[in-house]
Structure 1
Amino acid sequence: MPEQSIAEQVDTFNEGFTAQIGPELSAVFDREQAALRAAGVPSTAAGVGDTVPDTALLTATGTDTSLAAALDGSPAVVVFYRGTWCPYCNLTLRTYQQDLLPGLTARGVRLIAISPQTPEGSEQAIANGELAFPVLSDPANALAAQLGIVTEPDGPAREAHTQLGFDVADSNADHTAQIPFPSVFVVDGDRVIRFADVHVDYTTRTEVTTVLDAVDRAAQ
């Protein structure tokens, strides 16, 4: 069992983050999250029984690869994250490295993280979390779009990002602000989805124990 759940870590982070950015910007993000929750998971989002299509991706060094090549016929946990600019993503990937990867490795299951960032962004994610699993780029959200999980920050949120000194489009390979909903898919060796968890509220994530339970159920 992890020492701290992702939700507990997020609560701790949010206390400091809110104090750091102030009530006005915090309110902007609160409204964005509330709107996302109200809209819910898109009806187009891929689910159990769907096959994840093979799609061209890039490694953290900029080398061409594909989802099929990364999976190599093995069952896997495929994690979509927004980017290294997202503190919730960094927290989650670091937790997956520490608490999820060992359990998956023992089960013969791969772990792969995917974002629309440039390869340099993937490289930064690896460095930030000392990640020992593949972190790949999905330029223009080609794979995420086929899975029906593409979104983008709303106008006020992007203005808040600017005030905080960054813009999502600067990190993305296609220079747009489109990003995936944070999502976890457990797939079998044929890339058929056995578990899907799409989080429209980007401050919440799939817990380690939930992923391992899903992997164990898929193996039965």
Structure 2
Amino acid sequence: MSTTPIADQAAVLQANLAERVPPAVLAQFTEEVQQLATAGVPAGVAQPGARLPEGDLLDAHGEPTTLYAALAGKPAVVVFYRGAWCPYCNLALRTYQAELVEPLARRSATLVAISPQKPDGSLTMQQTHELTFTVLSDPGNKIAGRLGILTEPTDGAKASQAALGLDVAAANADDTAVIPMPTTVIVDTGGTIRWIDVHPDYVKRSEPAQILAAFDAAL
């Protein structure tokens, strides 16, 4: 199944938001994205050849698991996303469902998505978007932190989020507003990172074709 590229979907989403969200509120998000894009990928981000960190996670029903248990010894694409509250995350994961799940299955690989939100947020994400892949909660961003991909909304962005009725800290399992930069990691059966794609600008995401090409080149 082929869908519209994530970049094109994000552009439509931005246009729709511009029509619905007050300009002063939207301006804080625009400024935040510009700051993130200018700062770029943080120093110290995990590189190919490093081992993907193991960690205790919660499944969508709140049951304890670990990252490596979820991977089950298979090569995998692991997607770190901000949370169910993020519309760009929603459209990205829907696209991955449509364009990655089956191609990865044909490659005997799996897809896992991880966020710092509470398990009920993971369950909502999975059910609302009819996701068949594993969606996990990383309380306290332990794995994302060890990958070096953490950030936090600016004060201006937090004020705009509040104006829209959103409280990221309340959505997160550790009651902080710390979130991962949208990141895609390809890992082999031994847990070695073979490819990592970090997007400080959270409007942008790894495209399915890009992920599959990187997977085929790396494994």
Question: What TM-score bracket applies, with the shorter chain setting the length?
Answer: over 0.9
**Does structure 1 residue 187 correspond to structure 2 residue 187?**
yes
Secondary structure (helix, strand or coil) at the match of 2:136 reads strand
Secondary structure (helix, strand or coil) at the match of 1:37 reads helix
**Does structure 1 residue 91 correspond to structure 2 residue 91?**
yes
1:139 maps to 139
CA contact (8 A) 1:90 1:128 kept: no
1:16 maps to 16
Calculate the TM-score normalised by the size of structure 2.
0.98
Give the length in aligned residue pairs. 219
2:106 maps to 106
5+ residue gaps, structure 2: none
**Does structure 1 residue 37 correspond to structure 2 residue 28?**
no
Q: Distance in 2 between matches of 1:214 and 1:187?
A: 11
Runs of 4+ more than 3 Å apart: none
Q: Distance in 2 between matches of 1:15 and 1:53?
A: 38
- By how many angstroms is 1:143 displaced? 0.5
- By how many angstroms is 1:53 displaced? 1.6
Opposite residue 138 of structure 1, the aligned amino acid is D
- By how many angstroms is 1:24 displaced? 1.4
Calculate the TM-score normalised by the size of structure 1.
0.98
Pairing 1:1-220 to 2, within 5 Å after superposition: 2-219=2-219
Opposite residue 6 of structure 1, the aligned amino acid is I
Identity of aligned residues (%): 47
Deviations 1:88-121 (A, max 9, x none): 0000000000111111111111000000001001
- By how many angstroms is 1:22 displaced? 2.4
Opposite residue 176 of structure 2, the aligned amino acid is T
Q: Distance in 1 between matches of 2:29 and 2:81?
A: 18
